[in-house]
Structure 1
Amino acid sequence: MGISSSPFPDDSFTSSFSPTSKKRPRTDTWFDDSDNDPSLQEFLTNLLASDNPPEENPAQNVPSPPHLSISAAGNYIESNRAMHEADTYFVHSGNSSNTKRARSHPPDDSSAAASGGVHRRLWVKNRPNAWWEQVNSPDFPDEEFKRAFRMSRATFDTICHELESAVTKKDTMLRLAIPVPQRVAACIWRLSTGEALREVAKRFGLGISTCHKLVLEVCTAIKTVLMPKLLQWPDENKLTEIKNKFESFSGIPNICGSMNQKTSYSITLQGVVDPTGVFTDICIGWPGSMTDQQVLEKSALFQKSDLSGGSWIVGNKGYCLSDWVLVPYSHQNLTWTQHAFNERIEDVQRVARDSFMRLKARWRCLQKRTEMKLEDLPVVIGACCVLNNVCEMRNEGLGDELRFELFDDDVAAVDSGGVASSGTVNGRDRIAHMLLHHSFAGTNFSH
């Protein structure tokens, strides 16, 4: 179907319309006279010539726009696309000697080099980070810094130095890389406050996706760089020191760790700590519905062969008594000796509970719901444990405003119900009687 040059198929409508007889005709005589006037004819010829100068070769300067054709209503989309291409056809190219401009914004010269000669307009949003600039200032009070990041500036600088090679990024032609202290600070702030990712990004002048990626990168660097140094099972010399410290206040010999288990985000964290509350072994990631004993049997700690030979790890009643796990008596009608033994076990268990309390108090992301994927949680929780070890080793005290009452899982713990061998039962009984005869059996037990 073609398109007519007139909106009407014939001249029936236009021929029936004529001006009223009262209107003076505007035709004939002036043009007839002009045909006979040579001076006027020459003037009109020159005027037309000035309006239409001779064209230079258009093919050398401006390429012709795409051909537009409309053949049917069904080609409406194609015609619009062609019209759009014709309207935005002229583009500034660094390889062309001609200067042409698109209908949109003019190109940015700073981006031309990065795009190989083709000018493209790139938009980078400037984000204010006045809060971080103030905190990072040397004049910022150290007490406020510690309240914000759960550690002193000296400890923070040490962490930045250790992670520098792992988290440093290179500058690009478009922007400068985020400095290492800002990266580490954003991650630690996120872990210590549990603040929403949007608010953390705004506080540090970052995009939300950039902030999310940055937090995971720093947590991964903590796991890769710091965990092998700061969260490892102790060697023989260190084990001897740990055993002596536990025995000094409990009276139970050969204790190499106090074990506890908590649930965060419906996944479990099982940890073993030394007498100072420093984690020496962690197991993260099993479902929160699993019992303490089931998690232990899935952990790498269960496979350690160096725990045999009389060394003990003290656990709660959710664990089974074994030749290397020492748990309290859980049956009713305890004897005076058994009750005294349970109190000494409680002293050792308190070390692990207090350590978990400080862990959750410092890193409040463990108290809240998370925006992270389930597969990212083990590395984040592991980073919290490593950072907690840093604070414990450097004696970073916990402010009173951060302390809270940690829910004690032992209250709701279900007895493992496991049947221990006669040898392990007798071994526990010997320890209980030894405490009775070595003045460690002081107890509040009363009949």
Structure 2
Amino acid sequence: MCKATFEFIANELRPALEKETTDWRAPIPYKVRLAAVIWWLATPTEYRSISNMFGIGISTLCNLARENSTVINGVEVPVFLIGDAAYPLKKWLMKPYTNHALTADQRRFKTRLSSARMVVENAFGRLKGRWRILLKKNDVNISYVSDVVASCSVLHNICEMHKEQFYPEWDEEMRNYERQHGLVQPNDNVDPNNQNIDVTSDIRDAVSAFL
């Protein structure tokens, strides 16, 4: 991330991040607060190393990470998921038809779903390549994980909007990490807990007909 992009983010978040000076002590500068969290999001570095780097306590860094991520993720956006044949068909997750004799609508649906999924996979690859915190087991409280992911997504979009450089080796490093740690998609099977298969099939059929 170049200095101009960082300054843009810092200025946008300054009202929420800047703290008042009290009689007891001066607050951590808002740019330092933001920089420490961005470093944490962008690398797999542990809390201790980052706290030493920025001259703040580990507990302070943990609080900053939680606080800043909540600020960054200030807008709630509904999410629609698509997946390949390995995933179960659910109301909130569409997958391609797997039978061999497809209608024209079903073939069109399958083609467009595949095309959209390729775009999404490429976007997720760039996201994980830039923000390495998403590559490893997250050690934050589970109730806070969604804020971390959302924060990475918002910061990533800002980097994309500002034409920040994305190096090819980042993508290769990300893929090597996933291969080494066995991060693969689920097996192609039917979800036994999906009791509403008729309803979800009707939803997929309706989308197929619409396309």
Per the TM superposition, whether the score is higher than 0.5 is yes
Q: Percent identity?
A: 30
Give 1:191's aligned residue.
Answer: 41
Q: Deviations over 1:65-96 (max 9, x none)?
A: xxxxxxxxxxxxxxxxxxxxxxxxxxxxxxxx
With 385-394 and 201-210 compared, the bigger mean Cα shift is at: 385-394
Q: Decide whether the 8 Å contact of 2:41 with 2:133 is kept in 1.
A: yes
C-alpha change, 1:319 and 1:170, in structure 2 (3 Å) is same
Q: Deviations over 1:324-363 (max 9, x none)?
A: 97541112x3459666753442111111111222222111
Report the 3-state secondary structure (helix = DSSP H, G, I; strand = E; otherwise coil) of the residue aligned with 1:412.
coil
Task: Determine whether 1:428 maps to 2:208.
Answer: yes
Give 1:374's aligned residue.
Answer: 142
Cα distance in 2 for residues equivalent to 1:377 and 1:424? 30
Give 1:296's aligned residue.
Answer: none
Q: Deviations over 1:93-137 (max 9, x none)?
A: xxxxxxxxxxxxxxxxxxxxxxxxxxxxxxxxxxxxxxxxxxxxx
Give 2:14's aligned residue.
Answer: 164
Cα distance in 2 for residues equivalent to 1:161 and 1:430? 44
C-alpha change, 1:197 and 1:430, in structure 2 (3 Å) is closer
Q: Decide whether the 8 Å contact of 1:167 with 1:218 is kept in 2.
A: yes
More strand by share: 1
Selected match of 2:153 from 379, 385, 388: 385
Q: Deviations over 1:237-263 (max 9, x none)?
A: xxxxxxxxxxxxxxxxxxxxxxxxxxx
Counterparts of residues 60-99 of structure 1 (less than 5 Å):
none
Gaps of 5+ in 2: none
Report the 3-state secondary structure (helix = DSSP H, G, I; strand = E; otherwise coil) of the residue aligned with 1:213.
helix
The structural deviation recorded for 1:182 is 0.8
Q: Deviations over 1:165-215 (max 9, x none)?
A: 111112234543211111100000001102110000000111112222122
Higher relative contact order (CA 8 A, sep 6+): 2
Counterparts of residues 77-226 of structure 1 (less than 5 Å):
151-224=1-74
Pairwise CA RMSD of aligned residues?
3.1
Give 1:352's aligned residue.
Answer: 120
Q: Decide whether the 8 Å contact of 2:88 with 2:189 is kept in 1.
A: no
More helix by share: 2
Give 1:320's aligned residue.
Answer: 89
Which has the greater radius of gyration?
Answer: 1
C-alpha change, 1:408 and 1:357, in structure 2 (3 Å) is farther
C-alpha change, 1:334 and 1:384, in structure 2 (3 Å) is same
C-alpha change, 1:429 and 1:391, in structure 2 (3 Å) is same
Cα distance in 1 for residues equivalent to 2:16 and 2:117? 37
Give the structure-1-normalised TM-score. 0.38
Gaps of 5+ in 1: 1-150, 233-280, 283-300, 302-312, 432-447
Amino acid aligned to 1:158: F
Q: Decide whether the 8 Å contact of 1:326 with 1:428 is kept in 2.
A: no
Task: Determine whether 1:365 maps to 2:103.
Answer: no
Cα distance in 2 for residues equivalent to 1:187 and 1:210? 11
Give 2:98's aligned residue.
Answer: 330
Q: Decide whether the 8 Å contact of 1:319 with 1:327 is kept in 2.
A: yes
Amino acid aligned to 1:398: F
Give 1:412's aligned residue.
Answer: 187
Q: Deviations over 1:12-60 (max 9, x none)?
A: xxxxxxxxxxxxxxxxxxxxxxxxxxxxxxxxxxxxxxxxxxxxxxxxx
Cα distance in 2 for residues equivalent to 1:430 and 1:376? 37
Report the 3-state secondary structure (helix = DSSP H, G, I; strand = E; otherwise coil) of the residue aligned with 1:357.
helix
Amino acid aligned to 2:38: I
With 365-374 and 168-177 compared, the bigger mean Cα shift is at: 168-177
Amino acid aligned to 2:168: D
Amino acid aligned to 1:428: S
Amino acid aligned to 2:41: L
Task: Determine whether 1:394 maps to 2:174.
Answer: no
Cα distance in 2 for residues equivalent to 1:427 and 1:201? 50
Amino acid aligned to 1:154: A
Q: Decide whether the 8 Å contact of 1:330 with 1:415 is kept in 2.
A: no
C-alpha change, 1:379 and 1:329, in structure 2 (3 Å) is same
Amino acid aligned to 2:126: R
Cα distance in 1 for residues equivalent to 2:207 and 2:55? 60
Cα distance in 1 for residues equivalent to 2:207 and 2:63? 51
Cα distance in 2 for residues equivalent to 1:205 and 1:321? 47
The structural deviation recorded for 1:161 is 0.4
| Alignment size in residue pairs | 195
